[in-house]
Amino acid sequence: MTQQLDLKPGKKPMFLGKPSRKAAEKATKAIVEKPIEKSAESKARKRLPLWASLLIASNGMVLLGVSLFTARPDLADRLLNDPRVAPIVAKVWPNRTPVVQPSPAAPAEALPETARTILSYEQWLDVLKQEAIAVSTKNPERLTVLLGDSLSLWFPPEQLPGDRSWLNQGISGETTADMLKRLSFLDGTKPQTILVMAGINDLKSGVSETDLLTNYRTLIQTLKQKHPETELVVQSILPHSGAAMTAEEADRLKGIPNEQIFRLNQKLATIAKEEQALFLNLNPLFSDPEGMLRSDLTTDGLHLSPAGYLVWSTALQTFSQTQLRNDRPAAVATQSESDAPKADAPTAETAPETAKPAEETKPDQ
């Protein structure tokens, strides 16, 4: 017999008894499907939130970057010294000491003049000053300074001789008058050697030969006074490619033949000798039979390609081993001190006389 339950008025009575087949199937289905629904909800709750995924990804990128910079410190220097990054790095990390050399780097094929639009001249000055200060606090051994214009600025760090520490103080568009104003940046440093290259931007700016040579002499005298123990090397002004230059460079160097550059280099060699500095004549290595800058060593008829910097690097290595007082082999140095020097074998004190472009055969122009 079925039992009837008392309900509130207005409600239909509910009977307790044997459930129908349809109700039983429905209950069974609910019992079977319920764990599945819970399982799906559980899986949804176990998914990582978006912020956690991004955090893990960013940490992975940081670890990858640290590993790369540890294995290739030269790449780290080039990245941190990139013109687009250097101003930010200088503010956040003002005392950073570059691992390889502190020159602002750029892709070898990049045109230095176009890169100047990224940093102003004043910004470049600040970067070079901060890098010189950082080097002065470390006082690295065998410090060699590149003092010059865009040709020095874009010297690839990996192509510089690796037997010394380097401080790149090159800046695009620099003239000899500009360079004189920032020599104080090096006051706290103790370089073993300073390599100077300047003059082409003076010619492009219409500076007279007289003013150019006067500025150069003053520059040498000032460096000798501030750094009496440092060997100073004046490097020749490189030729250009003449009609083979890009339109932009050809317009800027219009009316400046390579014959004029050749004569200037002769006068620079004379000034270097008179001021007891060394002169490195690079032009025979960079000139073709017509006296033009070799097409295989340049990107635009004035600036150097990777092959051009390789030639320059080799010349620096050879010159340092044969002419620089502090770089000559110990055996040679000992012999030169104990034996009387021959007339045609200059000692370290007379080494400035070894490079005389005026005595060299002038290439066909």
Nearest to residue 164, comparing CAs of 348, 272, 319? Answer: 319
Determine the Cα–Cα distance for residues 207 and 258; give it in Å rounded to an integer: 16
CA-to-CA dists, residue 41 to 48, 52, 118, 318, angstroms = 14, 20, 54, 74
Ramachandran angles phi, psi of 287, nearest 5°: -95, 145
The mean pLDDT of the chain is 76
Asked if residue 256 has pLDDT above 50, the reply is: yes
Confidence of residue 288 (pLDDT cuts 50, 70, 90): very high
157 Cβ partners below 8 Å, 6+ apart?
74, 77, 78, 100, 101, 103, 105, 166, 168
CA-to-CA dists, residue 268 to 232, 236, 312, 320, 331, angstroms = 13, 8, 19, 19, 32
pLDDT in tens, 82-93: 555 566 666 656
Confidence of residue 263 (pLDDT cuts 50, 70, 90): very high
* pLDDT (0 to 100) of residue 331: 41
* pLDDT (0 to 100) of residue 120: 84
Confidence of residue 292 (pLDDT cuts 50, 70, 90): very high
| Average pLDDT of span 135-139 | 93
* pLDDT (0 to 100) of residue 50: 76
Asked if residue 223 has pLDDT above 50, the reply is: yes
* pLDDT (0 to 100) of residue 199: 96
Asked if residue 345 has pLDDT above 50, the reply is: no
* pLDDT (0 to 100) of residue 178: 95
Asked if residue 231 has pLDDT above 60, the reply is: yes
pTM of the predicted structure, to 2 decimals: 0.60
* pLDDT (0 to 100) of residue 29: 62
The tokens describing 190, both together, are 């103790």
Domains plus CATH for the chain?
A: 140-326+348-359 (3.40.50.1110)
Residue pair 163/141 in contact (Cβ under 8 Å)? The answer is no
For residues 208, 360, 144 and 308, what is the CA-based torsion angle, rounded to 10 degrees?
90
Confidence of residue 211 (pLDDT cuts 50, 70, 90): very high
Asked if residue 358 has pLDDT above 50, the reply is: no
